[in-house]
Structure 1
Amino acid sequence: MRVTQGMLSHNSLRNLSNSYQSLGKYMDQLSTGKKINRPSDDPVVAMKGMNYRSMVSNVEQYERNLGEVHNWMDNSDNALDKANDVLERLREIAVQGANGTYEEEQRENMAEEVDQLRSHLEDLANSKVNNKYLFNGAGTTGVENATGDYEPPYEIAADGSNNNAPNNNDPVRIEVSDGNKVQVNVNPSEFFDTSIFTDITNFSNELKNGTDDEAIGDYIGVIDTHIDNNVNARADLGARQSRVELVENRLTQQQVTAKDMMSKNEDADIEEVIMNLTSQESIHRAALSAGARIIQPSLLDFLR
């Protein structure tokens, strides 16, 4: 095959174009720090990168979910802690009221404090976080009334009954990992049921109307029962909090692993890129020099 001047020129330009593309690729890698900048650069790396990014994105979403889980659990535990303080104070009043040395007026003062403590306990039962009721199960918006509006789940009447009962006892679950959902709320029937408010109301009435020290003293055991219910509810909540912490630690490890795998798949070896770029620059200069030599002089050069 006869090699013409045009063929030499064409091949030289094509090779120079390829050299420019190689230079451009290494410059892109150096400036972005990535092996590829478009899927066509390496489809395999691109597909793996998409999978790793999905893994990281899922872990980050689960970590955001864990923030909501902690919000629910921490606020629930705090409300139960305050409720325990109320019960401890009620027990102190029951012990005092059972003492026959107190007069009727003094017991009425105790009853007034009991009423205030019951109202405070009602406020704790209606605790909200992010505009959601903590102690109404899955009915986080409250209790729907006849007009379609929503009311607090606890509205205690004078006799201690709950006007908005029954409450929703369905659990509130939040997904914290793939297929793993954790209950974040406290079942209201475990502690904030109707009987606690009825018992406190009856205790108040006994202080107001009764002079039977033994009958007042009986409420010590009643209150102790509610204290035990509070402790059990907090223990169950604490067990779930421990589980959440384990899940959180595992997610942190998964995130580190996924990001490391993504980095190894996508990130360029800067030292190697610089060496390749330097080598390609030398090759490009040599190609330019060789191209200038193989192109024969034109007729104008002979006429000089």
Structure 2
Amino acid sequence: MSEISITKNDPCLEHNLSGHKKTIYGLAFHPAGQQLASCSADNSIMLWNLTKKSIRCYDFKGHSDVVTSIEFSSDGQLIASCSQDRTVRLWIPTLKGGSTDFIAHSSAIRTVTFSPDDEQLLTGSNDKSMKLWNVQFRRFLCSFLGHTNWVRCARFSPDGRIIASCADDRTLRIWDVSSTQCMHTFTPSKGSGNYVAFHRNGNSIAVAMNTGSVRVYDIRNNKLQQHYTLHDNTMCVVWHPYGHYLLSGGLDGTIKIVDALEGRPLYTLKAHEKGIHCVRFSPDGDYFASGGDEKHIMAS
């Protein structure tokens, strides 16, 4: 089964959420923390209500292929998902789970995220492009072109002025949103990135590498700040909301917590028997969740 875990203080399992029938590829907490959304290779999205003593789950169906990424808007009013069926869907996170969709790319979509003001969506695809969309009218705005292989992940900076992306072309690119131009390209000597995450200050980005490392870059001077060897293949990395810690998951089934201020790993958790594809901190930073090949979610 695929698992989601959530942990507080010293990490310990609090919930094991089962429902998906195949690998879980994405997780997203509601901004208030009371709900957790997950997406899976079973083509579905599940919305978990974490506020009740008995956790309830709502199953949303609409995509016709693997759902690869999922995000809440910052006001919690919408969920965006993307799929290998080439569509983006916008869901209302209620019991009925109504949604609208549009074809966004000519090939499978790997990543979707809201701009900080919730007015735009950013998507990245196997067609090697990233695209910006107006949320209200589902209208195409512009493309970001330069990657020469599948785009794995793309994220806005906290102020919405910069985008960081990683792709199978073994580059990490920094883009100016207003001009759509690439401002800088990082080319690690080995491997490619699976996931990228901005620090809350907007000056640093963490990249999960398929070599098993997590690399932290300062985008003000375009220098490598920190480098950690953590997994066999690091699939995901996120910053703690306060920016002090990094949380990563890998195909070795472990979760690592790194003290980014002191530059040292703190915990290694054997959270899953199979590979982990997604990790997320809760908005208050007290808990985290993970999901992967075991089809259930572990919440700690």
Between structure 1 and structure 2, the one with the greater Rg is 1
TM-score normalised per structure 2: 0.21
Higher RCO (CA < 8 A, seq sep 6+): 1
Question: Which one has the bigger helix percentage?
Answer: 1
TM-score (norm 1): 0.20
| Greater percentage in strand | 2
